[in-house]
Copies of this chain bind each other. A is one copy, B any other.
Amino acid sequence: MVTENLEKLSTKEKIIKIGAEIIVKEGLRKFTAKNIADKLGITDAAIFKHFKSMDDIILEIIDKYVSKCSQSAIEAVEKGHTVKEKLELLLRAHIDVLEETRGAVPVLCFELSRSEDVKFKSILSNFVESYKEKISRIIREGQMEGSIKEDLDPEDVAMFFIGSIQAKVFAYVISGKEGRIIEDPDQFISIIFYGIMKR
């Protein structure tokens, strides 16, 4: 369990960090007040002095990620000169946010997308939809200028981007390793752009 530099944080921030870590390493079923409290050396009841419900903790974790991701996507589009550069900037920014939040949100995205809870469902699907929309717009631009294959459906490609990151989190989670989720961003981006075949 990565708990480096946890001391200097407030209890509320610690709850969020530990909570995210639990979601990734142990799964939503272990995301309980008692589990978090035990790791912090307090009681479960104390959790509710900082958050009014367990759902509220999850909402804050998601909110942080979504706002950072959306922001950096906008910046990528502004700063990139070519389509390829835009996509690359977008992916690299996304990877940074992903590493910073230890992959918690893609995990939540998956686990909560089927939740009966309308609150989670709408927040996450709105995020995915708007992110997908941003990417498809770049893809369409690339198809117009001839750098991206015309026979691909832009929305499918956008989902392939999101899915590829999701897949990396999956591999990371399954491997049980510590350290970075995407060890070699260059290779990751290269496979997405040009595949695995030499041609």
Alpha-carbon gap, A87 to B21, bound state (A): 36
Alpha-carbon gap, A20 to B149, bound state (A): 37
Q: How far is the CB of A50 from chain B (nearest CB, A)?
A: 24
Interface size of A by CB at 8 A reads 53
Please determine whether A160 and B167 come into contact, CB atoms closer than 8 angstroms.
yes
The answer to the question of A114 belonging to the interface, with a C-beta cut-off of 8 Å to chain B, is yes
* Residues of chain B contacted by A125 (CB below 8 angstroms): 174
Please determine whether B191 and A152 come into contact, CB atoms closer than 8 angstroms.
yes
* Residues of chain B contacted by A29 (CB below 8 angstroms): 28-29
Alpha-carbon gap, A151 to B198, bound state (A): 10
Please determine whether B174 and A110 come into contact, CB atoms closer than 8 angstroms.
yes
Question: A163-B164, A194-B194, A195-B195 known; A113 and B152 CB under 8 Å?
Answer: no
Residue of B nearest to A149 (CB): B198
